[in-house]
């Protein structure tokens, strides 16, 4: 008993879809259980380790981990291209795949646009420098900015003067 080629292809797509969904669910559970922002066993970006420059994928694991934990704003900070552009790209790919079944799809324009977007994002997240770009993922090794130090010094100064004022008030009014 032979199955028609169309049915065989659709059953392969179904199996591939089920395996893909199973993989994504397992990955989300792993990222939810072991947050990449806290655990260091996840792979590091080789380009960043060698050059200090952020590639377009830097922060993607932490972004997906933040999404799995429901922290959208953190996910956008880690990798805005993945979080904001990912759903759009996925929708375009799905539409292209459906059109491909009917013989209408052309991947050339889409591929060129994706290359331009990814390269532009890679450049933008390293300008003016990899540690000071608003598109760069936050790092634990980034030195404190002067504004953070000034705010901390202001708070410390305020606490010191508040403590001195309380001591002076107690001395003047002992009773």
pTM to 2 decimals? 0.65
- Residue 141 pLDDT: 46
Question: Can you tell me the distance from the alpha carbon of 163 to that of 159, in angstroms, rounded to the nearest whole number?
Answer: 6
- Residue 161 pLDDT: 54
Question: Can you tell me the distance from the alpha carbon of 14 to that of 20, in angstroms, rounded to the nearest whole number?
Answer: 10
Indicate if the pLDDT at residue 73 is higher than 90.
yes
Cα–Cα distances (Å) from 46 to 34, 57, 58, in that order, read: 21, 11, 10
Question: Can you tell me the distance from the alpha carbon of 36 to that of 42, in angstroms, rounded to the nearest whole number?
Answer: 7
- Residue 172 pLDDT: 61
Indicate if the pLDDT at residue 6 is higher than 70.
no
- Residue 123 pLDDT: 94
Tell me the pLDDT tens digit for each residue of 96-119: 888 877 776 678 888 899 999 999
């Amino acid at each position: 008993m032979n199955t028609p080629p169309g049915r065989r292809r659709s059953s392969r797509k179904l199996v591939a879809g089920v395996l893909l969904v199973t993989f994504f669910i397992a990955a989300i559970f792993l990222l939810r259980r072991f947050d990449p922002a806290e655990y260091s066993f996840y792979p590091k970006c080789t380009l960043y380790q060698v050059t200090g420059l952020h590639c377009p994928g830097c922060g993607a694991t932490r972004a997906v981990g933040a999404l799995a934990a429901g922290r959208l704003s953190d996910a956008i900070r880690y990798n805005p291209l993945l979080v904001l552009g990912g759903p759009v790209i996925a929708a375009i790919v799905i539409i292209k795949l459906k059109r491909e079944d009917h013989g209408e799809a052309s991947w050339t324009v889409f591929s060129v646009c994706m290359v331009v977007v990814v390269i532009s994002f890679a450049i933008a997240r390293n300008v003016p420098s990899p540690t000071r770009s608003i598109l760069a993922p936050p790092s634990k090794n980034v030195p404190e900015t002067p504004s953070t130090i000034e705010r901390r010094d202001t708070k410390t100064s305020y606490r010191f003067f508040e403590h001195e004022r309380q001591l002076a008030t107690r001395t003047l009014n002992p009773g």
